[in-house]
């Protein structure tokens, strides 16, 4: 894994206040050694046509940890997530301002290669979306298009390792050439995770990855996320506060397009600084 030190990110993170008015440093609990920063967002605004969906979001994402984005539906958490791999570009009429850096490089700078960016930033969607191809071809797809495997055995290794990491290997190893769409919902979602990690991304974005799944499948996915954070940096959008509490180290609360509060998960859920966060986690709205 790449662990390039991003001094600039640290500095900016310490110096710039989050939208809630508190500095990044204040939000850090000292009982946990902060990991180096993977990505930073500064004054990010997103417009869908005339409508503004995000207002001046400032957020830092630590490497090798899970950052959860929570908030009521329509609060902009998914919009922010989709900014991190520029998937918003695929929706006509979307405009993003501000600065988002991945390892210190602005991902919205002109001339940046989105294909390269998306290879480095993987994504798992709300509804499992395996391609109508075999399980093997699904996982191998990214490696194939990016030319990661030198030969067939490399490819097979990538597929098997990725499926193992996604803890799906044992269930599908005998039917790798059956269509991926034939799996159950939970298996399909783990297939999509395997597909994402087969490219060895540095950052994995997950957009409510368990919302379409039953509780057992959800538990498996959460377990998987917990394991993956040892090697990957993960940002997850979830509408379930319990899920955020279970899997994440840091939590950011969005409301009406604003980032209200961000901090260590424990602090957000036990001692929120903002009244809106308190209202949300105690179930008064959303």
Partner 1 sequence: MSSIADRTHDWSGEAAAARRRRRYAADRRLRIYGMSAIGIAILLLGILVTTLVFTGYRGFIQTTISLPVTFDAELVDARSPTEGNYREILSRSIEQLFPGLEGPALRRAGQILTNNAQFLLRSAVYDDPTLVGRTVDVAIPASDPYDQLNKGIIDRDLPENRRRLNDEQISLFEQLEEDGRVETRFNWGLFFNADSRFPELAGLAGAIVGSFFALLVCFLISVPMGVGAAVYLEEFAPKNRWTELVEVNINNLAAVPSIVFGLLGLAVFLGWFGMPRSAPLVGGLVLSLMTLPTIIIVTRASLKAVPPSIREAALGVGASRHEVIMHHVLPLALPGILTGTIIGLAQALGETAPLLLIGMNAFITSPPGGLLSSSTALPTQIFIWADSPERGFVALTSAGILVLLGFLIVMNGIAIFLRQRLEKSW
Partner 2 sequence: MAGYAFLAIAVLSIVAYFIGQSAGRRFQAQVGREVHSLPVYHGAFVAVWVGIPALILVLLWLLLQGMVINQLLLASLPDDMTNGVSSARLSLLLSEIHNVAAGRIFTEPSPAIVEAAERYAVWERIARWAMLVVGLSAAIVALFVARSRLAPRFRARNGFELFVSGLMIACSVAAILVTIGIVASLVFEAMRFFAIVPPTEFFFGLNWEPQMPIRADQVAGAGAFGAIPIFVGTLLIAFIAMLVATPIGLFAAIYLVEYADSRVRNVVKPLLEILAGIPTVVYGFFAVLTVAPAVREAGSAMGIAVSPNSALAAGGVMGIMILPFISSLSDDALKAVPRAMRDGALALGATRAETMMQVLLPAALPGIVGGILLAASRAIGETMIVVMAAGLMATLTLNPLDSVTTVTVQIVTLLIGDTEFDSPKTLAAFALGLVLFVVTLSLNIVALKIVQRYRESYE
Footprint on this chain of partner 2 (rule: CB under 8 A): 85, 87, 90, 92, 114-119, 122-123, 125, 127, 129-133, 141-142, 145-146, 192, 195-196, 199
Q: What is the Cα–Cα distance from 7 to 201, expressed in whole angstroms? A: 22
Does residue 266 sit in helix, strand or coil? helix
The DSSP line for 93-109 is TEEEEEEEEETTEETTS
Residue 127 contact partner, candidates partner 1, partner 2, none, CB within 5 to 8 A by sort of partner: partner 2
Residue 2 contact partner, candidates partner 1, partner 2, none, CB within 5 to 8 A by sort of partner: partner 1
Residue 147 contact partner, candidates partner 1, partner 2, none, CB within 5 to 8 A by sort of partner: partner 1
Of the candidates 203, 213, 199, the one whose C-alpha atom is nearest the C-alpha of residue 143 is 199
For partner 1, give the closer residue by CB, 75 or 203.
203
Angular region, 280: left φ>0, alpha ψ -120 to 50, beta rest: alpha
For partner 1, give the closer residue by CB, 37 or 155.
155
For partner 2, give the closer residue by CB, 99 or 146.
146
Binding site for partner 1 (CB under 8 A): 1-2, 113, 115-116, 119-120, 145-150, 154, 157-158, 160-162, 198-200, 202
Residue 162 contact partner, candidates partner 1, partner 2, none, CB within 5 to 8 A by sort of partner: partner 1
Cβ proximity of 205 and 81 under 8 Å: yes
Cβ proximity of 237 and 61 under 8 Å: no
Q: What is the Cα–Cα distance from 12 to 175, expressed in whole angstroms? A: 49
Residue 132 contact partner, candidates partner 1, partner 2, none, CB within 5 to 8 A by sort of partner: partner 2
* Closest distance to partner 2 from the beta carbon of 262 (Å): 24
For partner 1, give the closer residue by CB, 91 or 145.
145
For partner 2, give the closer residue by CB, 30 or 115.
115
In angstroms, the Cα distances linking 105 to 60, 130, 164 are: 14, 31, 32
């Amino acid at each position: 894994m790449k662990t390039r030190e991003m001094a600039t990110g640290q500095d900016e993170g310490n110096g710039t206040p989050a939208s809630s008015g508190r500095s990044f440093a204040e939000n850090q609990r000292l009982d946990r050694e902060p990991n180096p920063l993977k990505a930073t967002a500064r004054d990010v605004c997103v417009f869908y046509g005339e409508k503004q969906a995000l207002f001046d979001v400032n957020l830092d994402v630590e490497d090798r940890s899970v950052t959860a984005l929570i908030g009521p539906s329509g609060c902009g958490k998914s919009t922010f997530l989709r900014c991190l791999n520029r998937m918003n570009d695929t929706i006509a009429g979307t405009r993003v301002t501000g600065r988002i850096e991945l390892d210190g490089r602005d991902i919205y700078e002109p001339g940046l290669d989105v294909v390269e960016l998306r290879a480095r930033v993987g994504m798992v969607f709300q509804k499992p979306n395996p391609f109508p191809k075999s399980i093997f071809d699904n996982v191998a797809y990214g490696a194939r298009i990016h030319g990661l495997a030198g030969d067939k055995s490399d490819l097979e290794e990538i597929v098997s390792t990725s499926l193992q990491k996604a803890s799906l290997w044992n269930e599908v190893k005998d039917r790798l050439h059956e269509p991926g769409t034939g799996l159950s919902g939970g298996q399909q979602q783990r297939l999509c995770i395997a597909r994402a990690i087969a490219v060895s991304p540095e950052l994995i974005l997950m957009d409510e990855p368990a919302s379409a799944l039953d509780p057992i499948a959800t538990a498996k996915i959460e377990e998987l996320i917990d394991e993956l954070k040892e090697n990957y940096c993960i940002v997850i959008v979830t509408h379930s506060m319990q899920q955020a509490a279970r899997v994440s180290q840091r939590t950011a609360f969005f409301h009406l397009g604003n980032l209200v509060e961000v901090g260590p998960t424990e602090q957000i859920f036990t001692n929120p600084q903002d009244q809106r966060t308190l209202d949300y986690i105690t179930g008064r709205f959303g």
